[in-house]
Amino acid sequence: MLDTGLLLVVILASLSVMLLVSLWQQKIRGRLPPGPTPLPFIGNYLQLNTKDVYSSITQLSERYGPVFTIHLGPRRVVVLYGYDAVKEALVDQAEEFSGRGEQATYNTLFKGYGVAFSSGERAKQLRRLSIATLRDFGVGKRGVEERILEEAGYLIKMLQGTCGAPIDPTIYLSKTVSNVISSIVFGERFDYEDTEFLSLLQMMGQMNRFAASPTGQLYDMFHSVMKYLPGPQQQIIKVTQKLEDFMIEKVRQNHSTLDPNSPRNFIDSFLIRMQEEKNGNSEFHMKNLVMTTLSLFFAGSETVSSTLRYGFLLLMKHPDVEAKVHEEIEQVIGRNRQPQYEDHMKMPYTQAVINEIQRFSNLAPLGIPRRIIKNTTFRGFFLPKGTDVFPILGSLMTDPKFFPSPKDFDPQNFLDDKGQLKKNAAFLPFSTGKRFCLGDGLAKMELFLLLTTILQNFRFKFPMKLEDINESPKPLGFTRIIPKYTMSFMPI
């Protein structure tokens, strides 16, 4: 028998040969973008700062240019850095870059189903139905605006109940924003203390935290091995099953009272489409319904609540900015009515502040991975079908060509010389091209209505000195997280 040392040598030698053969085959077929030389199996893992992958990517772009290749474990990824490269790929060659790339933590749940994590014809059909259904239920219209304002009213009552005591606003915002998407998907809101609702939020938060953790990064790179090993990933696998079971039960409840002539919510509309298309090749089936509703919850909950939470911190750090927003609210809305979304057209400074909060926070700088759906030539490089792509949206938000002082919080980035709102081509918080976030209209409406409603009723107070406020997001693997803090909501 071979001893352990010799066996290890044989395994490493075999992996090296496999890697060399793979690289040789790629060069025969075409030319990949340049990048650091990967090691067998672990790829470029040792060359990345796993605590701050975005910074590592930025440093590599300075050496290899706006299009380069890295290996995350055995997985080859092409990175697009900067506005020009991202736009050329996601807009000019949108079809070739329209697949959904690997995200092992979330793929454990979605497995290629649902609107967010599918590719090809499945993604196209689910996206068309989702956009049309969301529009039918008022996204971008007065209907969903009323749902947001109703939920904002509950939030104001909760915050008034704190009586100005310092609190962590995280759970308050999570409950509010999640209830908005719940009203669209389920047709009803949850009581804020509902155990079912709190369990759903807890499970989604658990998955998001794991995905951003060092173990989650390792799982993304080496999931083919780690899914069989003990560790935190095993708990996440159990959580994914609980989430699926939760949504299956919600669908079952809807189905038992379904009226095909009167859809009440997103689930009803999908069930009706399932009844209309019962052929075996249809993408409108139970698995895609369950995973699409879960996709909407993940997309519609975390992003908006995190952006608002960061926004509160930034406004406390910059009281002059908060004061100007209060002044604009007084001038346009006053105190005798609720804000309306159409007010944002008359409130350029407030909208510029919201845009700058999104830009400065840059909470998901690596974006959501794409995948090449057919052999493609891009900027003279050959990208084989199945290659994963990281469009680094964060590189757009910090490009000095578009934002003169990208490390400073400055709403003037979105205002012209006359104080009117101006567009910035590099401001793409919801991505672009064929796979841009289908909830962008809802998110924009939520951010404006919730922030203005809160500031119409409260001023923010930080329990310590302003200089003690750490406004810089903390790097954590592939993402950036908001520093923990407490604050007081002081009634006006």
Summarize pLDDT for 149-205 with one digit per residue, the tens. 999 999 999 999 999 999 999 999 999 999 999 999 999 999 999 999 999 999 999
Taking only the tens of pLDDT, the chain with its 492 residues reads 445 555 555 566 666 666 665 655 555 344 899 999 999 989 999 999 888 899 999 999 999 999 999 999 999 999 999 999 999 999 999 999 999 999 999 999 999 999 999 999 999 999 999 999 988 887 655 689 999 999 999 999 999 999 999 999 999 999 999 999 999 999 999 999 999 999 999 999 999 999 988 889 899 999 999 999 999 999 999 999 999 999 999 999 999 999 999 999 999 999 999 999 887 789 999 999 999 999 999 988 889 999 999 999 999 999 999 999 999 999 999 999 999 999 999 999 999 999 999 999 998 898 889 999 999 999 999 999 999 999 999 999 999 999 999 999 999 999 999 999 999 999 999 999 999 998 899 999 999 999 999 999 999 999 988 888 888 888 777 788 888 899 999 999
Q: Which residues does the annotation place in the binding site for heme?
A: 437
Q: Rounded mean pLDDT of the chain? A: 91
What are 101-116's pLDDT values in tens digits?
999 999 999 999 999 9
450, burial (CB in 10 Å: exposed 0-12, middle 13-18, buried 19+): buried
Q: At what angle do helices 440-457 and 319-332 cross, to 10 degrees?
A: 90
CA distance 123 to 127: 6
Domains recognised in the chain with CATH numbers: 35-413+436-491 (1.10.630.10)
Task: Indicate the helix (H) or strand (E) that contains 26.
Answer: helix 4-29
DSSP-derived secondary structure for 356-371: HHHHHH-S-TT---EE
Amino acid, single-letter form, for residue 414 = F
Cβ(341)–Cβ(448) below 8 Å = yes
From first CA to last CA, the distance across the chain in angstroms is: 79
Q: Output the known binding site.
A: 437
H helix and E strand count, the chain: 17, 11
> Which among 16, 80, 66 has a CA at the least distance from the CA of 43?
16
Per-residue tokens: 84: 């020009």
Closest-CA residue to 77 (of 370, 414, 458)? 370
Backbone angles phi, psi at 487, to 5 degrees: -155, 165
How far is CA 489 from its chain centroid? 27
Identify the H or E element spanning 78: strand 75-81
